[in-house]
Structures are given as structure tokens and as C-alpha cells.
């Protein structure tokens, strides 16, 4: 379908994340740019959440197909690593959609200090509110969840397990 009115950014921004489909690539903050070159080629730039994010190839393929469906015959999807993605790039709309889907959104982390990274054997527990009942009484079940971006937690108040997009 050729819409004619949507910009290439609008089309690209609507593509959803393969592993957290409630988020668009724009919500997730991995869409870095979308523009049409003079020769008509659409160039979209994305950045991976984690170096080994297995969803990256799906994103690339989905972007290409959606833009081709929108009438852009030549689509080039580029990957850029710099600056590295952090959960701070997840938009406010994205955070709201995560919470609505029962996934606790990440807290804001701010820029990383340069120099050696200190090791804390007992890191202070972040307060992560339960996305079901809102209780702050939650605990980590596993620091690694079903996708690279999430950890598994459990609510002590309502006993529901849930995923938490871990801060990086």
C-alpha cells in the first residue's frame, strides 16, 4: 500500500519489537534515523539493545518489508553501535505500554561514570513496583529473563511473577 502521506520515519517508527511487541522500535529507542536519499533509497538506522540481541535480524527484516509495503522499493537498514543503547532511550510512551502489558519498566540510570566500574558484592536492591498490584514489595527471581533485556521478579504482595526491563 502506498500511503503517500506518511514519512519514512512514520512507517519505520510503527514497526514493533519482535520480543516485546507492545513497543514500537521508536518507543524502545532503537530507531536512530530514517531518510530518503536522492536516488530514492530509504536508509533506516537502528541500534541493538545488547551486542548479541538476537532480535536485530528480525527488526531489520520487518523494517525492510514494512517500508517496501509502503511503496519504497529500495530499503537499506544500517546498524549503528555508537552511542550505545541504554534503557534511558525507552520513551515515556514505551514505559507506559510496558507497565500496561505487565512488564515493569526500567528506572532512569543516567550517564555512566568513566573509569573502572566498581564491584559491589551486595548491590542495593532497586525498588521495582509490581506492575499488577503496584506493591513495592518485590524480589528478584533471576537476574536474567527470557529476553536479553529483562530480569524475572516476583511480587511478595500479590505473588505474581513478572518481567522487569533491567536498567543498563
Partner 1 sequence: MGADDSAYQALAETLDGDDHRWAFGAGFDAGTAEITAPPPEGVDRDDLATYCLMLADDALVASQRLAEWTTNAPELEEEVALANIALDLLGQARVLLARAGHLGAAERYRVGPQDDEDVLAYFRDERAFRNVVLAEADLGDFGRTMAWMLVYSSWRLALMTRLVASRDVVLAAVADKAVKELAYQRQYAAQWVVRLGDGTDHSRERVQAGLDGVWPFVEELFAVHPVEARLVEAGVAVDPAELRAELDAVLDQVLPPARLTRPERPAVGLVAGRGGRDGIHTEALGPVLAVMQSLARTHPEATW
Residue closer to partner 1 (CB basis): 99 or 167: 167
Least separation in angstroms between CB 90 and partner 1: 15
Stretch that binds partner 1, among 5-13, 21-29, 84-92, 128-136 (CB under 8 A): 84-92
First to last CA, the chain: 38
State in angstroms the smallest separation of the CB of 135 from partner 1.
Answer: 22
Touching partner 1, residues 106-165 (CB under 8 A): 112, 114-117, 119-121, 123, 141-146, 148, 152
Residues 6+ apart with CB under 8 A from 159: none
**Pair 30, 19: CB distance under 8 Å:** no
Rounded CA-CA distance 130/158 in Å is 9
Q: How many CA atoms lie within 13 A of 59 on its CB side?
A: 30
Please state the separation of Cα 66 from the chain's center in Å: 19
Q: Is 82 in the site for partner 1 (CB under 8 A)?
A: yes
Stretch that binds partner 1, among 12-20, 51-59, 124-132, 154-162 (CB under 8 A): 51-59
Stretch that binds partner 1, among 2-10, 19-27, 49-57, 98-106 (CB under 8 A): 49-57
Q: Are 89 and 34 in contact (CB under 8 A)?
A: no
Q: Before 106, cis peptide (omega within 30)? A: no
For partner 1, the binding residues (CB under 8 A) are 45, 48, 50-54, 56-57, 60-61, 64-65, 76-86, 112, 114-117, 119-121, 123, 141-146, 148, 152, 168
Amino acid at each position: 500500500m502506498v500511503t503517500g502521506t506518511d514519512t519514512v520515519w512514520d512507517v519505520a517508527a510503527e514497526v514493533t519489537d519482535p520480543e516485546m511487541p507492545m513497543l514500537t522500535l521508536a518507543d524502545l529507542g532503537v530507531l536512530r534515523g530514517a531518510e530518503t536519499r536522492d536516488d530514492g533509497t530509504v536508509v533506516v538506522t537502528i541500534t541493538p539493545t545488547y551486542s548479541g540481541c538476537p532480535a536485530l535480524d528480525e527488526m531489520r527484516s520487518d523494517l525492510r518489508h514494512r517500508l517496501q509495503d509502503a511503496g519504497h522499493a529500495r530499503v537499506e537498514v544500517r546498524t549503528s553501535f555508537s552511542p550505545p543503547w541504554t534503557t534511558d532511550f525507552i520513551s515515556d510512551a514505551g514505559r507506559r505500554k510496558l507497565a500496561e502489558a505487565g512488564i515493569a519498566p526500567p528506572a532512569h540510570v543516567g550517564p555512566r561514570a568513566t573509569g573502572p566500574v566498581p564491584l559491589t558484592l551486595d548491590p542495593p536492591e532497586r525498588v521495582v513496583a509490581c506492575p499488577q498490584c503496584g506493591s513495592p514489595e518485590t524480589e528478584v527471581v533471576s537476574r536474567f529473563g527470557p529476553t536479553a533485556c529483562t530480569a524475572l521478579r516476583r511480587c511478595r504482595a500479590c505473588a505474581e511473577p513478572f518481567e522487569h526491563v533491567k536498567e543498563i
